[in-house]
Amino acid sequence: MPAIELTSYTLTSALGAGLDATWAALQSKRSGLARRAWETVDLDTCIGEVEGLDDLPVPAPWQAFDCRNNRLALLALRQDGFEAAVHAAIARHGAHRVGVFLGTSTSGILSSELAYRERDAEGHLPAWLDYRHTHNTYSVADFVRHHFGLKGPAVVVSTACSSSAKVFANAQRMMRAGLIDAAVVGGVDSLCLTTLYGFTSLQLVAQAPCRPWDAARNGLSIGEAAGFALLEWSETPTPGAILLSGVGESSDGHHMSAPHPEGLGARLAMQGALDAAGLRPEDVDYIALHGTSTSANDAAEDKAVVGLFGAGTVPCSSLKGHTGHTLGAAGIVNAVVGALALTHGLAPAGVGTQQLDPTLSSRYLLDNLRLPLRHVLGNSFGFGGSNCSVLLSREVA
C-alpha cells in the first residue's frame, strides 16, 4: 500500500543549523537558551536565538522578501541537502504538482515593529516597509514558492503553536485527493518584540531557561526556528524510511490563552492520530510533548497523556528546554526531532528540568533513553484550543 514518506527534512534552531548540530545537542543534552541582548529587549529572560541571521541577506531576485523570518527560512532551506531534494522532486513530479504548506504565528512582524520606530511627524511609515512580502502571514510560503519556482498550491496555516503540525494534515489531504504528488511542509517563526512582550504581559515568561515538567517551573522561554520536510508518495518504502502515519486535529475552544484543564482537546488530537494510523496507545514508543513549562499547560497535557496511555508508560519529553518555545515552528521541531529519534533509536531527554513535579504522572525522561523506536508522536497545542498531534513511523523489514 502506498505511504507518504518524509524523503528529506531539516531543522535550524538555537541548537544550530542542520540535523548534525541538532542531533549533537540532543545527545549531549545541551540547551540553546541563553540571556542575550537582542534588539531593544530589556526583559529579564533567556531566549533561543538563531545566530547569524543579520548577516544573511536574501538573494537579489527575492529582495522584496528580505526580513528576519524569511532569512531564517532561507538558512534552514540551505541545510542537509534539502534544496537539492526539492529540485529533484520537481524534476520527478513537475513544478505544478509540488505544494507548499507552512506554519507561522507572527511571520515577519519584526519588520513592521522596526518600521514603527521610523514614523515621521505625521505618523507615516517609512517607504522601505513592504508589508505584503514581509509582515504578511503568507509571506514565508510565497518566498519558498518563489525560491524553488513552484507552481502548485501554497498555503500558510496560522493557528498559533499548532501551525506547523497542522500543515502535515493539509498536505496529506491534498496528496490523497490527487491534487499534488509531493509537498514541502514545515514552519518558520522568528523572534519579535510582540511575542516577547506579549507573553510577558500574560505572566508566562520565565527568567531562567524554562524547566518543563519541573515542580518549580514558572514559565516558558521564547525561541525561534525553521524546519522543513519533503513529503512524497512511496509505493514500497525501504527499511528505515520515515513515514507520516497519522495526524489528529481537534479544537476544544476552551479559552483564548489557556488549555482545557483536563486536556480534553489534547487527548482528542492524540487519539485522532492513533485512529488515522490504525494504531493503539501501546504501539507508541516516544512522545515529543508540547510541554511549554507553564503550570497550566504541563498539567493539562499530563492528564491527557496519562488518560490515553496510562501513568508512567510511554517515554516522553519536551524540547522547549532545548530550543525555547518556537511558537508556529513548534510542530515541525517535534516532527524533525521525532524523525531523528526514529532513525537513531534514541528518545531524547528534556533539559532544564531539575525536580519532576510529583503531581504529574507521565514517564518524563531526564536522561536519554536508547531503545528501538517504531512509532513516535509529536504534540502541538495552540492558543484558542487548536490542537494537533503528528504520528511518524519507521519502516521495518
333 with 223: CB under 8 angstroms?
no
Q: Which residue in 161, 210, 316, 388 is the catalytic one?
A: 161
Is 124 considered catalytic here? no
Q: Which residue in 133, 260, 322, 325 is the catalytic one?
A: 325
Neighbours of 149 (CB within 10 A): 11
220 with 58: CB under 8 angstroms?
no
Is 87 considered catalytic here? no
- Return the amino acid letter for 261: P
Q: Which residue in 260, 290, 322, 375 is the catalytic one?
A: 290
Is 93 considered catalytic here? no
Cα diameter, the chain: 69
85 with 182: CB under 8 angstroms?
no
Q: What cell numbers appear for 118 in the block?
A: 521610523
From residue 367, how far is each of 11, 284, 353, 390 by CA, in Å? Answer: 22, 19, 11, 24
Q: What cell numbers appear for 123 in the block?
A: 505618523
222 with 193: CB under 8 angstroms?
no
Q: What cell numbers appear for 356 in the block?
A: 519532576
DSSP class per residue in 226-266: EEEEEEEEESSPPTT-EEEEEEEEEE----SSS--TT-HHH
Alpha-carbon distance of 319 to 334, in angstroms, equals: 7
Neighbours of 62 (CB within 10 A): 15
342 with 393: CB under 8 angstroms?
yes
Alpha-carbon distance of 333 to 335, in angstroms, equals: 5
Residues that are catalytic: 161, 290, 325
